[in-house]
Amino acid sequence: MSHCARIVLHEKSITADIEYYDLSLPPEDLLELNPNGTSPTLIERDLVLYDARIIMEYLDERFPHPPLHQMDPVSRANTRMIIKRIDQDWYQLLDEILHSGEKKSARAKKMLRESLIAATPIFGSRPYFMSDEFALIDCVMAPLLWRLPTIGIDLSSLGDEINAYARRLFVRKAFKASLSDVEKDMAELPK
C-alpha cells in the first residue's frame, strides 16, 4: 500500500516527487519500468522498486535517520514477521471488505473488528505497536486504522487503547503530510 511508503518518506523528511494515477490506467512510462503497473513504485536513478514493504525497508536503510527498524537482526526479523501477519490477517480482510460482495464483506468486517479488539492488550501495552518508539510497524498500521471509518468501523468502538494508539499515529506531522487528497476525506484528523 502506497500510503505506508509515503509515511516513511515523511518520517525521514525525504524529498520526493509523488505522482498519483488511476490504478486501472497506469501511465505508459510507468509500465515500462514496472510491468505490473502497481502502486507504489519507487524510481531512484537506476533502481526501480514496486513493493511497498520492500520500498519501506529500502528507504529506512538508505536514509538511516531516524531509524524505523531496530538494528539487531533478531528484532528486524521479528518486525518483518509482525508486518507479514498484519498484511495477511488485517489487510487481507480490509481488501475483502473493499472488493467483495455484500455478504462476504460483512463477514470480513466482523472478523477485522473482532481481531483488532482481540489485540487490544498489544495496543495498550506500549506507546506504539509493541514498541516505545515509532517504527515501521506503525507506518503499516496507520493507513489501516485511518481507513476503518470508510468501511463502517468506528475507531472509538474498538476501545480506548486502540483509539489512543490511532490518535498518537494520526497527530504525527509525517502522517498528516502523507495523506493524499482522497485520504484526507476519509476521516477527520484529531486536533
- State residue 37's pLDDT score: 77
**Residue 84: alpha-carbon gap to chain centroid:** 12
Residue 78 parent element (H or E): helix 73-86
In this structure, which topology does domain 73-184 adopt according to CATH?
Glutathione S-transferase Yfyf (Class Pi); Chain A, domain 2 (1.20.1050)
CA distances to 101, 137, 149, 186 from 152, rounded to whole Å, are: 15, 24, 5, 11
Q: What is the pLDDT of residues 15-74, one digit of tens each?
A: 998 888 887 888 888 888 888 877 898 989 889 998 899 999 999 999 999 999 888 899
Least confident of 33-42, 51-60, 83-92, 101-110: 33-42
Q: Is the pTM of this model over 0.75?
A: yes
Query: Helices 136-147 and 73-86 sit at what angle, rounded to 10 degrees?
Result: 10
Least confident of 16-30, 89-103, 109-123: 16-30
Q: In sequence order, what are the beta bridge partners of 49? A: 42
Domain spans in the chain, listed from the N-terminal domain onward: 2-62, 73-184
Average pLDDT over residues 10-15: 95
Pick the CATH number of 2-62 from 3.75.10.10, 2.60.120.10, 3.40.30.10, 3.30.9.10: 3.40.30.10
**Nearest Cα to Cα of residue 3 among 167, 190, 186, 133:** 186
